[in-house]
Amino acid sequence: MIYLYAILKYLTFPGSIIRATIEHTNCRKFGIPIEDDNPLRFDDLCGHVEHELPKDLTAAARIVLRPFIFNLVVGFFILFYAAVAVFMAGDFSLVDLFLLWLGISLWSNVFPSLEDGSNYLYLARTQGKGISKAIAGFMRVGAALDTWCLSLPLALVFAYILPIIFKYLFVA
């Protein structure tokens, strides 16, 4: 499973690296020591940086949520065009295909590592309030899906659905 997991992370390496970069930046910001900052390693932390677990809910939340939001939003902007062009219009130009791959790579790397997700959920349950717990729970589920190599298929499914959502939200 780790081989498959790492291969998927390698296939979506722009998203893996960007996610790790934001995680790294936030670790620095909150004074969390980073033990290994190589996101392309062949183990279960592929696509993440290895860092100490924060004990503060704010730090844990930001380390988990900021990469999530960045990858989700930037990936959305990219896929909003690329998915429509490729899946809906069948416009298979090099630019469109590259953007589609970039967008899917971002979306398949939105979730934290299992350790970060679990730590965030623990801190949210002990220190946080309702909404924080719900978000942390969502992140923990996402981390589990990521571990089970389901993040790439899910990203593909959502990218495929995106034009349909666009069609009915903005045109209908």
| Cβ atoms of 13 and 40 closer than 8 Å | yes
Q: Does 106 bind other proteins (CB under 8 A)?
A: yes
For residue 116, what are its two tokens? 């970060």
Structure tokens at 86: 């490729």
In the complex, the smallest distance separating the C-beta of residue 4 from other proteins, rounded to whole angstroms, is 23
Instruction: State the nearest-atom distance from the C-beta of 63 to other proteins, in Å.
Output: 13
Nearer to other proteins, 86 or 124 (CB): 86
Alpha-carbon span 50 to 75, nearest angstrom: 24
Rounded least distance, CB 24 to other proteins, Å: 5
Q: Does 56 bind other proteins (CB under 8 A)?
A: no
Q: x/- binding map, residues 5-44, to other proteins, per CB under 8 A?
A: ---------x--xx-xxx-xx-xx--xxxxx-x-x-----
From the CB of 144, what's the least distance to other proteins, in Å?
Answer: 25
Q: Can you give the binding site for other proteins, defined by CB under 8 A?
A: 14, 17-18, 20-22, 24-25, 27-28, 31-35, 37, 39, 74, 77-82, 84-85, 87-96, 99, 102-103, 106, 163, 166-168, 170-172
